[in-house]
Amino acid sequence: MAIKVSNQSSVAFTAMLKASSGSRLAVMEKLQKYVDDMQDVALESSSASNNSLALIFAAQEDSHEEGTFHLWQRYRNAQDMLKAQEHVTSKIFYEEIRPSLSQPVALATYDCRADGSISPCCVPFGPKGEGGMDDATGAAKMAAGAAAKQTMKVDDGLLR
């Protein structure tokens, strides 16, 4: 008997926040309020359209590094992710949390596949690849490495 397997994927959006010295509890409180508020936003969108904006919206403190927090969000698609990030609640959170952090917020997106695996980090804009040796040696066949690859064929007959 054949079993139908879904090929639908979803989008994961992660953020890593590092509290500055002495602001760990303040960051924790603001992060918990943000999670609660965004879960309310998701419920409101669910009742309005029968689809929750966020499938998962959760945060936790890193178990190995006190003061480092991880925010995990999962959406049906990139459009829902964009709506959530453009929501006034998100904008207010990031503006209010910024002074309490020791470094910029680290953001990443992933494609969550139907089989439960996630893709490598997605880079929707800017240069692709890791740079460094790949670009210098032309291993990536793009960026600065494009200059290392011969792009035209020389006909020796024309040089005589």
Q: How much is the pLDDT for 34?
A: 95
Same domain, residue pair 143 and 97: no
Say if CB 26 and CB 106 are below 8 A apart. Answer: no
pLDDT-derived band at 48, boundaries 50, 70, 90: low
Same domain, residue pair 81 and 107: yes
Rounded Cα distance between 107 and 93, Å, is 15
How many independent structural domains does the chain possess?
Answer: 2
Backbone phi and psi for residue 26, each to the nearest 5 degrees, phi listed first: -65, -45
Q: What is the mean pLDDT of the chain?
A: 79
Give the HSE-up count for residue 38: Cα atoms under 13 Å, Cβ half-sphere. Answer: 32
144: in domain: yes
Same domain, residue pair 28 and 103: yes
Same domain, residue pair 145 and 98: no
Element (H, E) at 49: helix 24-49
CATH value at residue 46: 3.30.70.100
Owning domain of residue 139? 124-149
Say if CB 104 and CB 50 are below 8 A apart. Answer: no
158: in domain: no
Same domain, residue pair 86 and 144: no
